[in-house]
Amino acid sequence: MHQPFSYRKTFILGFGFFGISLIWPIFNNFVPIFLKEDFTLSATAIGFIMTWDNYLNMFLQPVVGERSDRTRTRFGRRKPWMAVGAPLAAFFFIIVPLMRSPAGIMIAILLTNVSMALFRSPTIALLGDLFPAEQRSKANGVINLMGGLGSIAAFLIGGKLYELGRITPFIFGSVVMVSAIAAVWGFVREPQQPLQTEKHDTRGSFFTNLNEVLRASDRSGLYILLAILCWFLGFNALETWISSFGKFTLGINEGRMAIFTSGLALMFVIFAVPSGLLATRYGRRRVILAGIIGLSLLFIYGLVVKNQWMLISFLIPAGFFWALINVNSLPMVYDVGGDARIGSFTGLYYFASNVAAVAGPQAVGLLIDLTQGNYRIMFIFSAVFMILAGLFMFLVKEHNSVPAFGE
């Protein structure tokens, strides 16, 4: 008997993701300005500090995700991590703009990053705990919609609050995040065991789980992680360098480029829920492959983009195709990993995506320097890795009850 889909439970869990997603745009918008204006740090130093979260998440989130699988309390497996991490992150986030020395602000940033890593994987792992396989794409679509709205709220409200004082957007972000996590804690009942009990030993470490993926006779776990690594390599490179391409290659000023690139984010938000519904109807693997093919063709098209109208015709469909991939990728990981190790595979997912978040933009930056400022190299890099993602994804076997190819 199929469990009915609960929109109430989905939107409450999505509110938690709304709170998490609110923090990072505020952080990314204002902290680089503080580092430059208050302490005159170089762009290289600022770039390094701003990627600390990615370096930490490569290691902390997989370990925390695996540990949350093994946590047993009367509150559940995930909630204790949320109860510790969210208040700490809120406190350290608020003190970031108050620091008046380079060492002070860097310590506050580091502690914010560590605290956020303590509860992100357990919070997202609730998606796998609360929903059966056939509902996860639909649920993740709603959750990604809420996350997108959180980012938009950060830009619109955070920008206005900043005019009242540099600390005000940080207070706003912290209060909303803690309130959102508290809502998840209070109104979402966490199951003590996964929805489907499987004969998996969850007592291994992150490295044990990774080793099991590498040695498994069914290579789908390895292939899905490699696909995730590749498509995030391609897309993160685009996110980082598209504004520079617009300014230095097409001659579009920064303000207009910000408006254009927001179109990609808006299309992602609009199609987040439809993407999950499409995957529920046609299968996650099929929908993800459609997104990969679409983005691969768009990256090739990017090589001939010559004006702002051609750029717009690139960015708008890119948001749609990225929604097909990103909304369904984490549920696909759960399909492959099994319900008994949802936290572990959430950690592996974030390990792959954070390696890409560090490596993709830096690799393309190096290629731009080696080609004397040819920003179109970004499209070649992204196309190559998106095509590789498609090849790996094609090798993944569809698990669970969503329809597979040929059915």
Which residue has tokens 């995730």? 228
Residue 46 banded pLDDT, cuts 50, 70, 90: confident
Tokens linked to 157: 């409200």
- Is residue 200 scored above 70 in pLDDT? no
Residue 400: which pLDDT band, with cuts at 50, 70 and 90?
Answer: low
**CA 36 – CA 204 distance, rounded (Å):** 43
pLDDT(198) > 60: no
User: Quick check: do 7-188 and 208-395 share a fold?
Assistant: yes
Convert the pLDDT of each residue in 280-310 to its tens digit: 899 999 999 999 999 999 999 999 999 999 9
Dist. CA 370–CA 153, nearest whole Å: 39
197 pLDDT tier (thresholds 50, 70, 90): very low
Instruction: Supply the pLDDT for residue 401.
Output: 43
The pLDDT, as a whole number, for residue 203 is 46
Model's pTM, two decimal places? 0.76
Which CATH homologous superfamily contains domain 7-188?
A: MFS general substrate transporter like domains (1.20.1250.20)
**Whether the Cβ atoms of residue 398 and residue 285 lie closer than 8 Å to each other:** yes
**Spatial distance between the Cα atoms of 115 and 147, rounded to a whole number of angstroms:** 19
Q: How much is the pLDDT for 153?
A: 83
Q: Cβ of 254: how many Cβ atoms within 10 Å?
A: 10
| 199: confidence class by pLDDT, cuts 50, 70, 90 | very low
Q: How many helices (H) and strands (E) does the chain have?
A: 14, 0
Q: How many whole angstroms from its chain centre is CA 334?
A: 16
Percentage of the chain modeled with pLDDT above 70:
90
Mean pLDDT to the nearest integer, 169-186 = 94
Angle in degrees, CA 7, 9, 13, rounded to 5: 115
404 or 42, greater pLDDT = 42
Instruction: Read off the pLDDT of residues 214-229 as tens digits, 9 standing for 90 and up.
Output: 777 778 889 999 999 9
Arithmetic mean of pLDDT, 309-313:
95
For tokens 């469909």, what's the residue? 317
Name which of 89-93, 132-136, 294-298, 326-330 the model is least confident about.
132-136
Q: How do the domains of the chain map onto residue ranges?
A: 7-188, 208-395
Higher pLDDT, 17 or 347: 17
Kindly report the CATH number that applies to the domain delimited by 208-395: 1.20.1250.20
Mean pLDDT, to the nearest integer, of 302-323? 95
